Structure 1
Amino acid sequence: MKKQWRILFQILLYNLVLAACVEYDAKPFTGKTLPRTTGYSTGVTQDWLYFNLRTGEQFNTQAPNYDIPEGEQKERKDWDLAFCGYRLRTNSGTSGIGMGGAADLGYGNYNHWTHVYQLPQNLEWSIDNDSEVYVTMSQNDWNKHLIDNNLDFEKNPWFDPNKGPANTLASANPVLANAMYFAGPPPVYSPSLHTYVVRTADGKRYFKLQLISWYNADIEIGDGGGRISYYCDELSQ
């Protein structure tokens, strides 16, 4: 019996020493994270955070529609990119009067793209429209919809076990809608890890973009869904 205990003790001691020698070489996240959670969870369906990539200025960081109410963004050129949950806008098409847009540069290879001259001449640019991309409705807005249309609450729940939460069309970029996929229930948000290029509202500058996570990547165990983590850097001219 003593021999058995001695062997068990030696195995335990070996495992402890081995564990002490293991080094975890996890690279810290060096990208960006949205300044707050966006989307339906804030109680507002069209909850967009706007960014001027040229100046670094941010809009609606304090509250939904605080600086740029929904609809007013269409007549402004001081923003280039916007987030609502996992959907994105560019200052183009139905979202704005700018010369923005986005294009897909393919899976991965984020660090490969450094200069504008690398962009393919036949690159297909996508501008925003209001007929392809859906955003999740807030429960408050869904309830208002039911009341306005005299619909039964029990027959029309906000969350359908087979379809998930209610959604509605939004003005957004259809190419950037592929940057992250939703599946569920239960809800799962998976980044495509494609690299995209975003053209600014003045049509003169270009930024590469890659979504990394539905959660704040600076937190070890993310619990702030809708606070997207991403990389975004300008391409040299």
Structure 2
Amino acid sequence: MKAIIKSILLLMLGGLSVSSCVKYDAEPFEGKTLPRVTGYSTGVTNDWLYFNLRTGERFNALAPNRDIPEGEQRDRTDWDLAFCGYRLRTNSGTSGDGLGGAIDLGYGNYDRWTSAGQLPVDAPWVEDTDTDVYVTMSQNDWNKYLIEHQLDFNENPWFDPNRGPAKMLTSANPVLAQSMSFSGPPPVYTPSFHTYAVRTADGKRFFKIQIISWYDANTEIGDTGGRISYYCDELE
């Protein structure tokens, strides 16, 4: 319950303008926040930030594709979890050659899960696919797509008032894709507050994760996306 209460307070604060004079005595968020915004707003569609949960190492933390260019992650086992906007990858299936994957442990109860021995033995570990999850295309990549296919810019706008910005399929984890839902326009990002278990690339260690917010509580909400805030701890 502690995690859920903190989550609600964080979302309330995230909706406040930085110019607001209202002060809330909310308990500080003790989880993690991505080091930078990822995804289409950086001008790169598949802008993934990778984490090695076993060592704490981060890849592409300073700029898109700087350490692990898109596509090269498949042959590497030195990463376990990745973020692009509000989508996530595990080192499994179409995303990587590792033994990763994810399972849904249900709504809330983040503090309940403390050890790998608690994980359901019959739970199907879901690997990444490239046929189920969409990411928002950057406007630069959408323009390149129109030019390549000789399509009219006016008839094919990047942002459609009825459908939102252009999207494309990517390689990602379909279970973790349920951790955050999108509706709009106007854009509304709603976390499921489910707890998920993630298996590392070597298949030997397990981490729990709960997505808290798409917004950065320290900045004013705009159209450039947000930075995922989340809890992530190892299951001993």
1:216: how far off? 2.1
Structure 2 residue identity aligned to 1:190: T
1:25: how far off? 4.6
Q: Which residue of 1 aligns with 2:47?
A: 47
Q: Which residue of 2 aligns with 1:9?
A: none
1:76: how far off? 0.2
Q: Which residue of 1 aligns with 2:72?
A: 72
3-state SS of paired residue (2:117): helix
3-state SS of paired residue (2:74): helix
1:222: how far off? 4.9
TM norm structure 1: 0.87
1:122: how far off? 1.3
Q: Which residue of 1 aligns with 2:20?
A: none
Structure 2 residue identity aligned to 1:56: G
Structure 1 residue identity aligned to 2:26: A
Q: Which residue of 2 aligns with 1:127?
A: 127
3-state SS of paired residue (2:89): strand
Structure 1 residue identity aligned to 2:170: A
Alpha-carbon distance in structure 1 between the residues aligned to 2:210 and 2:170: 21
Paired residues for 1:215-234 under 5 Å:
215-217=215-217, 219=218, 222=221, 225-234=225-234
3-state SS of paired residue (1:127): coil
Q: Deviations over 1:151-207 (max 9, x none)?
A: 010110000000000000000000000000000000000100000000000000000
Alpha-carbon distance in structure 2 between the residues aligned to 1:216 and 1:192: 17
Structure 1 residue identity aligned to 2:108: G
Alpha-carbon distance in structure 2 between the residues aligned to 1:96 and 1:78: 10
TM norm structure 2: 0.88
Tell me if the contact between 1:211 and 1:228 (Cα under 8 Å) persists in the aligned partners.
Answer: yes
Q: Which residue of 2 aligns with 1:26?
A: 26
Q: Which residue of 1 aligns with 2:92?
A: 92
1:148: how far off? 0.3
Q: Which residue of 2 aligns with 1:199?
A: 199
User: Compared with structure 1, are the counterparts of its residues 222 and 152 closer, same or farther at alpha carbon in structure 2 (3 Å cutoff)?
Assistant: closer
**Pair 1:159-2:159 in alignment:** yes
Tell me if the contact between 1:103 and 1:196 (Cα under 8 Å) persists in the aligned partners.
Answer: yes
1:27: how far off? 1.2
Q: Which residue of 2 aligns with 1:183?
A: 183
Structure 2 residue identity aligned to 1:230: Y
Alpha-carbon distance in structure 1 between the residues aligned to 2:24 and 2:227: 26
Provide the aligned C-alpha RMSD in A.
1.3
3-state SS of paired residue (2:47): coil
Alpha-carbon distance in structure 2 between the residues aligned to 1:57 and 1:222: 29
1:125: how far off? 1.0
Structure number with the bigger relative contact order (C-alpha 8 A, sep ≥ 6) is 2
Q: Which residue of 2 aligns with 1:61?
A: 61
Q: Name the count of aligned residue pairs.
A: 213
Structure 2 residue identity aligned to 1:100: G
1:24: how far off? 5.4
Task: Name stretches of at least 5 consecutive residues in structure 1 with no aligned partner.
Answer: 1-22
Structure 1 residue identity aligned to 2:112: H
Tell me if the contact between 1:39 and 1:226 (Cα under 8 Å) persists in the aligned partners.
Answer: no
Structure 2 residue identity aligned to 1:175: V
1:26: how far off? 1.7
Alpha-carbon distance in structure 1 between the residues aligned to 2:188 and 2:232: 23
Structure 2 residue identity aligned to 1:187: P
Structure 1 residue identity aligned to 2:121: Q
3-state SS of paired residue (2:124): coil
